[in-house]
Amino acid sequence: MIMQGVYTALVTPFRNGKVDYTALEVLLEKQIAGKVAGVVPVGTTGESPTLSTSEHIEVIARTAEIVNGRCQVIAGSGANSTEEAIYLTLEAKAAGADASLQVTPYYNKPTQEGIYRHFSVIAEKSALPVVLYNVPGRAGVPIAVETIARLASNPLMAAVKEAGGSVDRVSAIKDCCDITVLSGDDYLTLPMLSVGAAGVISVASNIIPGELSEMVELALEGNFKAAMVLHRKYYPLFRDLFIESNPIPVKAAMGITGDITPEYRLPLCELSAAHHNALLETLKKCGIVAQ
pLDDT in tens, the chain (291 residues): 899 999 999 999 999 999 999 999 999 999 999 999 999 999 999 999 999 999 999 999 999 999 999 999 999 999 999 999 999 999 999 999 999 999 999 999 999 999 999 999 999 999 999 999 999 999 999 999 999 999 999 999 999 999 999 999 999 999 999 999 999 999 999 999 999 999 999 999 999 999 999 999 999 999 999 999 999 999 999 999 999 999 999 999 999 999 999 999 999 999 999 999 999 999 999 999 987
Given the DSSP bridges, would you call strands 199-202 and 5-9 parallel, antiparallel or unpaired? parallel
Query: Chain centroid to CA 22: how far?
Result: 21
Given the DSSP bridges, would you call strands 18-19 and 14-15 parallel, antiparallel or unpaired? antiparallel
The predicted pLDDT at position 283 comes to 98
Question: 192-229: buried (b, 16+ CB within 10 Å) or exposed (e) per residue?
Answer: bbeeebbbbbbbbbbbbbebbbbbbbbbeeeeeeebee
In 3D, which of 101, 106, 72, 73 has the Cα closest to residue 88? Answer: 101
CATH of span 5-221: 3.20.20.70
What does the alpha-carbon distance between residue 79 and residue 124 come to, in Å, rounded to a whole number? 16
What does the alpha-carbon distance between residue 140 and residue 138 come to, in Å, rounded to a whole number? 6
What does the alpha-carbon distance between residue 83 and residue 6 come to, in Å, rounded to a whole number? 30
User: What backbone phi and psi angles, to 5 degrees, belong to 13?
Assistant: -75, 140
CB 7 within 8 Å of CB 36: yes
The predicted pLDDT at position 145 comes to 98
Domain ranges of the chain: 5-221
Q: Which residues are catalytic?
A: 133, 161
